[in-house]
Structure 1
Amino acid sequence: MRQIIRDTACGVVHKLTRGDVSPLELLGVLEERIAEVDGKLNALPILCFDRARKHAEAIMKKPVSERGLLGGLPVPIKDLTDVAGVRNTQGSLIFRDYVPARSDILVERLEESGALVYARSNTPEFGAGANTFNDVFGPTLNPWNTSRSAAGSSGGAAVALATGTAWLAHGSDMGGSLRNPASFCSVVGLRPSIGRVAHTPKFKVDRNLGVPGPMARNVEDVALMLDAMSGEHLGDPLSLPKLPHSFLSAARSGKKPRRVAYSPDFGITPVDPQVAAITRRAAARLAEAGVIVEEAHPDFRGAQECFHVLRAFDFAVSKAGLLRSHRDLLKPEVIWNIEEGLKLTVEQIERAEAQRLAMMTRAVDFFREYDLLLSPATIVEPFPVQNRYVTECNGKNFDHYVDWVAIASAITLACCPALSLPCGFTSSGLPVGLQIVAAPRAEGNLLAGAKTLEDILGLRGCTPIDPRPQS
């Protein structure tokens, strides 16, 4: 039974629907695996197995056909999103004892789809910083080398997948928070289009830099979870209706892109030469499927300035009250980001919104010529966990703690769906992810193309692993 941690999520759901395994048995397996490995990594610091077992017992009273798409599959929720009756610390000492009475729309949707919430995955304070550490639970370590960062902010989710304490995981992404940890941990993380996954609006009705999304160990599993998460909801005015065909069927369609573009840097960021070489080789292998691969990218000029302003504005809107009331409990990067937002002028916001609109328009035009855009998902290999963030790459120093994620945040600004696909390892044995991007709302094409390349690269199945100390 313990070997089931190595199964795909699609495979486990199939066993659930056939009655080969029960939701309660899966929870038992996960509880044992967490006890075995998570103390070395700190991916799932909050457990709620009693709550999960109650939900499992309720699901098991229903006919199999009424148990939802996931059929009783356990799923951890990132510690930024409300789960009724379970602590939601947001990685902050301010909220270390906060227990919400009601779940986020996203969690309600997943549970309606048959998910069992059994744990909260670790995240940096308020999801800020792209390195998963906080003053409530401490750092989350990378299982490929426990001296290295798991990135963030969905670092706990990525590590849980990589070590077999989850088959699917919930994450969220503003400037790469799904894609960076997926890259660092050799799993798949997908940032969907705005509105694809409904969630409870907070602070601002049309707040859309950050979106929730699925994480898994392979493309088919991430598509399955996107199916379970997606669909419109009256409580989220930006949410999109379900499509007539499932994302899993799109991933399995065998549809190949005709023409794709690769860029190591989008013309806006340095990149480690080894990471560039690994991702370029991976992209080039699409030619084996008859795909035209060319070096090109949309015009992303102004992306770093634009993201800096819009992110700062978001922090001011959502966190200014905390700065006034709990400044002493906020980490320096969050204080800086809020204060940057409070200093903004209307003219700066006007310019940033115009820059974003221009980038989105140029990206849409680009995808009339190319089916997909490929690049590194991150510009470096996993860095030492004690470094708060990446300060330098390939001889260039970064001015701010978010500048090093520009290759991901540019795609956020363009409103495109994107995923990180495992594509190789550095000479140190550390994972590298390839970012694959599609036109807005074209997740079906994205998943089909990613599955094509995943089959060619042959890296599926290299996780889960046991934690590997620094060699």
Structure 2
Amino acid sequence: MLEWSATRLSQAIHAREVAPSEVMAAWLAQVQALNGAVNAIVSLRDPDDLMAEARALDDVAPQGWLHGIPFPVKDLVATRGLRTTWGSPVWQDHVPAKDDLVAARLRASGAVIAAKTNVPEWGQGSHSFNPVFGVTRNPYDLARSAGGSSGGASAALAARMAWVADGSDMMGSLRNPAAFCNVYGFRPTWGLVPQDAEGDTYLSTLSTEGPMARTVEDLARLLMVLAGENPEVPFPRATPELRLDRDVRGLRIGWLADWGGAYPMESGILDLCEAALRQLEDMGAVVEHLAPPFPAEKLWHSWATLRAMLNAGGKRALAEDPAKRALTKPETIWEIEQGMGLSAQAVYEASVIRSRWHAHAARLFERYDAVVLPSAQVWPFPAEWRWPEEIAGRQMDTYHRWMEVVIPASLIGLPALSVPVGFGPQGLPMGMQVIGRSGGDMGVLAIGQAWHRATEWPQRRPPLVPAPVSR
């Protein structure tokens, strides 16, 4: 069962071929066997309580797609009755009284909320470590990072400690860890998965929740669980029809590579992505190399300004309260202070750049069905690092500049799917972003589905995962 897709497992539970208690027992055994090395699962509920909840579901008519499936929820999502820390010592003992929208929708679909998945403190930085739970390690090489902020989710998927997982993505937090752990991560069009009705919901349009999985079908089915209007927040989007089986023959795909040299890449990453694109050509797609469609430095300036503004608005108390400041990592304090120093004019000018890039991208997608970039600029790096300080000899001027390649999609809320493209010479995974027009989520996922059927990269298990035993 641990090797099955979530779709197959759901079908087996609904057909009463397996019972939720059997699934829970298998999941708990896997967590006990592997999580000590990986540290992807945190705040695990009492196993006896989980088994009792699963047994109570054995004879209950299934109420949703996730009925009876253990689900570890990302520790940036509040879960009723289950500790939620955001990776911060300020909140290390916090137990929410109610679910965030994502957790509520997972429960409504029948999931057994069993634990949390590890994150960087406050979800900032694409490496999942924090002073509450420590570092999450990559199942393909335990000395390496699993990425972030959805690093716990991606590592759990790779180590067969989750069938599907929720993630979130502001600055590549779904795409980078998916690439690092040889799974799929999908950043949907902004607004398709709505926000919670808390704090600002008009200006805060950079981050979104999204699904992660080992198959694209599972990814799409989880997206259907998470999507759907929340009438309490603005900018609703209709949920698209689930349609994955489309031919890629004749599709025009633009390859943006390293954005004309603007994005430094470690050796071998572009080669691996280009090999994947040749395979897409063999499947019938038409791939063209594109010149940079917009100045990269303008995109970065807009992004860094708007991100800092939102961090200052939402997290200012962490910097101004001396007790909280002492418990908060320096990268977060830096973000807040950058935002506190901004003028209204600076924010306006950043938004103008964002607007112009949106218009440019719309014209780009009149000519191309998708554009492609690597999902990361570095291979999974040593787990003891805080962040990569240089790439190919170029120094990084901020703690997050090394992930600049994700900015073009994030800044204007485009759907972006990180698909696995294989392994480098050191046996480390990598992925590439398939990016579509705004609202073109199913078109992007259809390319991913064709790719998965042709390659099945996530079925190459990490070394620490034993081969499955037939039932």
TM-score for both structures, normalised by structure 1: 0.94
Change (3 A) 1:358 1:287: same
Report the alpha carbon displacement of residue 336 of structure 1 after superposing the two structures with TM: 0.5
Q: State the Cα distance separating 1:50 from its structure 2 match.
A: 6.0
Offset at 1:253?
A: 3.8
Measured on the aligned residues, the alpha-carbon RMSD in Å equals: 1.8
Alignment partner of 1:389 is 2:387: yes
Opposite residue 20 of structure 1, the aligned amino acid is E
Is 1:260–1:374's contact at 8 Å kept on the other side of the alignment?
Answer: yes
Shift of 1:56: 4.0
CA distance in 2, matches of 1:133, 1:107: 22
Q: What letter matches 1:93 in structure 2?
A: P
**1:19 maps to which residue?**
16
Report the 3-state secondary structure (helix = DSSP H, G, I; strand = E; otherwise coil) of the residue aligned with 1:294: strand
Q: What is the 5 A alignment of 1:292-311?
A: 292-296=286-290, 298-301=293-296, 302-311=298-307
Identity score, percent: 34
Q: 1:442 to 1:329 in 2, by over 3 A?
A: same
The CA distance in 2 between the partners of 1:13 and 1:298, in whole Å, is 43
Cα offset, 1:53, TM superposition: 5.1
Match of 2:469 in 1: none
One-letter amino acid of the structure 1 residue matched with residue 253 of structure 2: V
Provide, for residues 62-85 of structure 1, a one-character-per-residue CA deviation record: whole Å limited to 9, x for no partner.
424xx1122322221100111100
C-alpha deviations, 1:370-423, integer Å up to 9, x for none?
001111100111011111111111121110011111111221012201011110
Q: Distance in 1 between matches of 2:73 and 2:249?
A: 33
What is the 5 A alignment of 1:47-446? 47-48=44-45, 49=47, 52=50, 56=54, 59-60=57-58, 62-64=60-62, 67-206=63-202, 207-243=204-240, 245-246=241-242, 250-254=243-247, 256=249, 258-267=251-260, 268-296=262-290, 298-301=293-296, 302-325=298-321, 326-446=324-444
Per-residue deviation, 1:278 = 0.4
- Give 1:432's aligned amino acid: M
Contact 1:232/1:240, CA 8 A, preserved across alignment: yes
Cα distance in 1 between the residues matched to 2:338 and 2:53: 44
- Structure 2 counterpart of 1:8, from 5, 9, 13: 5
Deviation at 1:323, TM superposition (A): 1.4
Residues 1:430 and 1:110: Cα distance change in structure 2 (over 3 Å): same
Name which of structure 1's ranges 431-440 and 191-200 shifts more when overlaid on structure 2.
191-200
SS across alignment from 2:419: strand
Amino acid at match of 2:408: A
Q: State the distance in 1 between where 2:434 and 2:97 align.
A: 38
Matched-pair contact (CA < 8 Å) for 2:160–2:465:
no
Q: In the aligned structure 1, how far is the partner of 2:421 from the partner of 2:289?
A: 18
Gaps of 5+ in 2: 467-471
User: In 2, distance between residues paired with 1:305 and 1:338?
Assistant: 16
Alignment of 1:36-55 (within 5 A): 36-48=33-45, 49=47, 52=50
Q: How far off its partner does 1:287 sit? A: 1.0
Partners of 2:121 and 2:49 in 1: CA distance: 25
- Rounded Cα–Cα distance in structure 2 between residues aligned with 1:31 and 1:213: 25
Partner of 1:399, secondary structure, is: coil
CA distance in 2, matches of 1:11, 1:463: 18
**Pair 133,225 (structure 1): closer, same or farther in 2 beyond 3 Å:** same
Normalised to the residue count of structure 2, the TM-score between the two structures is 0.94
How far residue 257 of structure 1 moved from its aligned partner, in angstroms, is 5.7
Choose 228-237 or 141-150, whichever is displaced more: 228-237
What residue identity is the alignment partner of 1:330?
T
Is the partner of 2:379 in helix, strand or coil? Answer: coil
Paired AA for residue 221 in structure 2: L
Task: Please report how far the alpha carbon of residue 467 of structure 1 lies from its aligned counterpart in structure 2 after TM superposition.
Answer: 6.3
Cα distance in 2, alignment partners of residues 75 and 409 from structure 1 = 29
Instruction: Indicate the SS of the match to 2:130.
Output: coil
Instruction: Give me the whole-angstrom Cα distance separating, in 2, the residues matched to 1:62 and 1:467.
Output: 32
For the residue of structure 2 that corresponds to 1:5, the secondary structure is coil
What is the Cα deviation at residue 238 of structure 1? 3.4
- Specify every segment of 5 or more residues in structure 1 that has no aligned partner in the other structure, as ranges: none
- Partners of 2:137 and 2:153 in 1: CA distance: 12
Residue pair 1:68, 1:113 contacting (<8 A) in 2 also: yes
Instruction: Report the number of matched residues.
Output: 459
Deviation at 1:182, TM superposition (A): 0.4
- Please state how far the C-alpha of 1:321 moved relative to its aligned partner: 1.1
Distance 1:322 1:273, change over 3 A: same
